[in-house]
Structure 1
């Protein structure tokens, strides 16, 4: 029988999906969807007698923060956060309406079903459950429902850290995306044991612009310092370059657990083949083994018969913990002396302990619902709002618990058409999350 907690988690997730809080990253294109979603959350909290504060980094970019007091005043607070914005959609690519929150064949469809209105609905339901039942968690819980994560979190988490750190007073750890979803542990036929991945570290993210300069000239008279040619050579070199493997603590723990379960060594000699044998998990793990620099935007001349004076490329950089200067040095070496590098945003990686007591809490909560489930640390190749909270010394973890069928790749749902989550996985998430937040 479905409990009220589970029912509300599903209802709230569906209601939030129906609020079109699309974040294009372009200020002029963004409406008030995030604030409308924030007001919805605030109203549901108020119904349960939970006080909250709505803040706007900019008009329409609303976030809501609420605190439930815990029973142990000596314990550091736990920040539990979910973002209310979603990425844009191409509606023609969807089988079901992206903002319809429809349920088909046991799956909830909609933008945000996994990223991450499912978790926003879940933690909202948990907060109301505690208030309704008079449950006092072990430690202070700060619930944050945030704007702007999909464009870097500048007007959500980043703004709160810079302008309202008082809302996070006493917080020592944070819990949010991306992790908690189940993947096959052994891959052996008939063995359906599951690993639940917890992100104990996240790659840093940086953006830079590389510019090559030369002399403008007529296209009929080639020059030796053609900016387009110089840039093309640098882009090709960057594309061909492979950074060395760097075994972070989180990556090595993943290798240790999966290696034992699957009979793999993950040695330097077998690493590529061993990772490839992990199936759909392989792309997630492979990207976490090394730093990456990816050219994403190219620009130069406007007229075919004019050699432009300069050409540029923008690159997306993902950095392992402690590797910032190594990446800068590599980028300068690979790009060459003829190309200028201008850094834009540069957010360092985050890293928390793979042996923290909080991970034991995750394991205990999972075991109550899945006796064969094993919680396994890993390094997230992307970044979340935890990068902002890290500036306050808050250690972030990614764990949104979802038990899914063996072939369902949760990570592939992020930003995809027909984004969906199994309804029974969302109800599982509500049960496990309630246990985690009560005892963490």
Structure 2
């Protein structure tokens, strides 16, 4: 799948995940599974493969893996990013961590269950979907709208889990929401050779950026925060400060590589990402804009985001048009479910480590299932050296690669979960 280079640039014609669908079809050929290939647009294909269970009242376990990858800068790589090379027990390539190793593991266990001498009690469903990296419009979002019966499951395992948090293994049970905004300001255009009397929108954009650079949204410590601090922080004094919203921000500076994650999951974040003003070097632009990536916590409404922006902008708010871009609410799944309990037992059995539930700072396709009431968890079981920091470096970074030990651990834990949940000994 790495070698098929299904690079998703966010356009309708990119991705071309049909190539990875064909890889999976070949892998599952002559295996007794129900397979559907569904295209939201030419080449934007997803594969749904189901092993039917014998008990219609048993769980239907979905294994949700995306088959698209983000673009690469080849100059930053020391090996071919689409070579899929096995070097020193590591598989190299774009998507190795995010998340083709898991999609491959999901397909492997589905094949084992399908070939087992006894049928499982419940359904096992591989959901190998397109377009996760650009929001799912050509992938799971479309599938749930157009083919809900084909993708129907009662519980889901997907990405964003398995990294080590101290002596614990992190399992994703929640993720932040997104509330993108476009801020537009007006100036007074004119010829650049006679700037007197004109007011460049570039300066207005600069004033907005200055306000945003000084903004530090207040910390809001949710129910997962304490578990994160307990798992990751050994220093008792530092842990106490992290649990205090008043002292939190000074404490975060002492967290090293995990500081960025701690900051992100403890508040709403606002990141300017795209600036636009002007089109010709000799014209003073009359309008300008700033695009914001805003990530929200559970319970944060669109009105809350707009109120926050107006507070940050201060007097500039009256001169700024705020336009809502694409967004979605933060989502979470309860840790009081049979699937989460099975996850805990599997990780303990394979790795001898307890689980810590965490919130992901970014988004994934898990939200689409959570939004319709289906519990979804970020799964994986990476090797002991895979701290959260190492995991984040691998996701979308240069020289992305995954070691065989992590793949083996993830497979071992997955086999246990599948056997417990749907009664199949893979």
Normalised to the residue count of structure 2, the TM-score between the two structures is 0.90
113, 124, 129: which one pairs with 1:130?
113
Question: Per the alignment, do residues 427 and 249 of structure 1 end up closer, same or farther by CA in structure 2, a change over 3 Å counting?
Answer: same
Moved more, 212-221 or 51-60: 212-221
Q: CA deviation at 1:41?
A: 1.0
Distance between the aligned counterparts of 1:290 and 1:386, measured in 2? 21
After TM superposition, which residue ranges in structure 1, 4 or more long, deviate above 6 angstroms? Answer: none
Does 1:308 pair with 2:285? yes
CA 1:406–1:413 in 2, change beyond 3 Å: closer, same or farther? closer
Report the counterpart of residue 185 of structure 2 in structure 1.
212
Checking the alignment, whether the CA contact within 8 Å between 2:32 and 2:51 is kept in structure 1 is: no
| Aligned pairs (5 A) from 1:411-426 | 411-426=392-407
- Aligned-pair distance for 1:85? 0.4
Tell me the CA shift for residue 401 of structure 1. 1.8
136, 159, 174: which one aligns with 2:156: 174
Per the alignment, residue 265 of structure 2 pairs with 288
State the Cα RMSD in Å. Answer: 2.1
Deviation per residue, 1:203-233 (Å, 9 max, x gap): 1123221110133223324447542222221
1:205 to 1:39, Cα distance in 2 relative to 1, 3 A: same
Greater alpha carbon shift after TM alignment, 305-314 vs 65-74: 65-74
State the Cα deviation string for residues 342-364 of structure 1 (Å, max 9, x = none). 11211111111133332221121
Contact 1:65 1:145 in 2 (8 A): yes
Residue number in structure 1 paired with 2:84:
101
Q: How does 1:59-138 map to 2 (within 5 A)?
A: 59-70=42-53, 72-134=55-117, 136-137=119-120
Instruction: Give 3-state SS (helix, strand or coil) of 1:42's partner.
Output: helix
Q: How does 1:420-439 map to 2 (within 5 A)?
A: 420-439=401-420
Partner of 1:19: 4
TM-score, normalised relative to structure 1: 0.87
Q: Distance in 2 between matches of 1:112 and 1:182?
A: 20
Q: Distance in 2 between matches of 1:313 and 1:343?
A: 12
Equivalence map 1:312-391=2 (5 Å): 312-324=289-301, 325-335=303-313, 336-371=317-352, 373-391=353-371
- Compared CA separation, residues 406 and 223, structure 1 to 2 (3 A): same
**For residue 267 of structure 1, what is the aligned residue in structure 2?**
243
Structure 2: unaligned runs, 5 residues or longer: 422-426
Contact 2:182–2:325, Cα closer than 8 Å, also in 1: yes
User: For residues 413 and 345 of structure 1, do their structure 2 counterparts lie closer, same or farther at Cα, with a shift above 3 Å needed?
Assistant: same
Partner of 1:167, secondary structure, is coil
Q: C-alpha displacement at 1:277, in angstroms?
A: 4.8
Moved more, 234-243 or 337-346: 234-243
**SS of 1:417's equivalent?**
coil
Q: Structure 2: how far apart are the matches of 1:326 and 1:282?
A: 25
Deviation (angstroms), 1:123: 0.5
- The answer for unaligned runs of 5 or more in structure 1 is 1-15, 186-193
Residue pair 1:103, 1:109 contacting (<8 A) in 2 also: yes
Give the Å deviation of 1:257: 4.0
Task: Tell me, yes or no, if the aligned pair for 1:138 and 1:438 is still in contact at 8 Å.
Answer: no
How far did 1:272 drift? Answer: 3.8
- Aligned residue for 1:99, secondary structure, equals coil
Task: State how far apart, in whole Å, the 1-side matches of 2:88 and 2:343 are.
Answer: 29
Shift of 1:430: 0.9
